[in-house]
Structure formats: structure tokens, C-alpha cells
Chain A
Amino acid sequence: AQSVTQLGSHVSVSEGALVLLRCNYSSSVPPYLFWYVQYPNQGLQLLLKYTSAATLVKGINDFEAEFKKSETSFHLTKPSAHMSDAAEYLCAVRVNSGNTPLVFGKGTRLSVIA
């Protein structure tokens, strides 16, 4: 069975600083990996996804993530935080098939300090 661990339920960064949100996964078969962002009282918006092509994945709003199989990690980064990046970030895994559900981590709340 797949699982996702997000280290740190809350991360705080200064505006303009590097954003690093950690995600480790467990999967017995090649996975699809996703990062979603959720603003208060809203649904989830896809930031980026890994689908076994390039290991460095670029997403929207200058976010990117690198798939590292040896470390079973898919950490999310952004070079310079903006105030508008404050939100909940969720990492999810799905096995390499269309017929299984997404498994989410517990999420990391990102705060950006002016």
C-alpha cells in the first residue's frame, strides 16, 4: 500500500526566502506523485506532477519538485516566497495506474512573513 509523509505540519518563511516542503512516499510500484495547494475554504489546485518522465518537475507559480527514487522523496521548492504563497500544501501518491485512489499526506501549512 502506498503512503505519504510530509515532514512539518507548519512551515514559516520570510518573504523572498527559499521555500522547501518535504514529502516522502512509500510505494511498492512506480508511483505518480503530485503536489496540490489549498487556500482556505477552497478545493485543491494542482501545482505539479511527476509521471515517470523528467525527475525535475516544474509547476505553476515557480514551484518545482525533484523525484529522488533512492530517497523516496518528492520535495517541493520555490526560490523566493511571496505573501500569496501562504496556504496548505498537500503531497499525494498514486500507483502507476488509473484505477487506484490518490493517497495524501497530512499537509503542510506554509506561512509567509513580511
Chain B
Amino acid sequence: KAGVTQTPRYLIKTRGQQVTLSCSPISGHRSVSWYQQTPGQGLQFLFEYFSETQRNKGNFPGRFSGRQFSNSRSEMNVSTLELGDSALYLCASSPTQGTTGEQFFGPGTRLTVL
């Protein structure tokens, strides 16, 4: 099976712009989670989608949003970018049933805000 894919891999934006990141989960996985990774804060949970519904949400401002499509692909959007949004954004997918909580991660999108 193909792994989790994320596009684009690298992105440079300026303050005030908005950005959309994309994630395609492993075939058959219906849960997609997003994480932000920075040197100072480590890995922080953004949100999780399951069957097109947001199931969990982390402690991030409303500028961060996401959605999931019927084919389980997911996008996250960050509006009005700030310098502090520079980070590696990781997407992870999980199997639908019989889960032991394991998540499979994509390679990430490196976002740089100038």
C-alpha cells in the first residue's frame, strides 16, 4: 500500500497570506489527523477528521481550519499567516476499525513564513 502523502513538501509564504496544505491517507484509512511541529513546542495536535467530520480539535486559533472529503483526503488551511506559523505540518492517518491507536505519518509540509 502507498503511504500517507502530503503536498506540497515545501512552501514559502509571507505574513498575512493564507495557505492550504493537502494530505492523502493510506487507502482504506478514514481518520486523518494534523499536527504542527516546531523546535520550541514539539508536536502539537491540530485536529482530527473522521468520515468528513471533525472529531477532535487542539488548542489552536480559528485561523487554523481543516476539512475532509468523501475520499478521506484532507486539507488544512491557515489564514492570515504569522511568523510563528513557520513549522513542519504533519498529517497522519489511522485504520477505521480494530485500531490500537497507531497513526501512520506522512513526510510533512515545511512551511516558512517570511
Contacts and interface: CB of A to CB of B under 8 A. Distances in A.
Interface of A: 32, 34, 36, 41-46, 49, 51, 90, 94, 96-107
A96 to B, nearest CB: 8
A34 B102 contact: yes
Contacts, number: 60
Interface residues of B, number: 27
Nearest to A93: B101
Nearest to A50: B100
B99 A98 contact: yes
Given A101-B48, A101-B56, A107-B42, A42 B107 contact: yes
B106 interface: yes
Contacts of A49: 100-102
A43 B101 CA distance: 17
Nearest to A32: B101
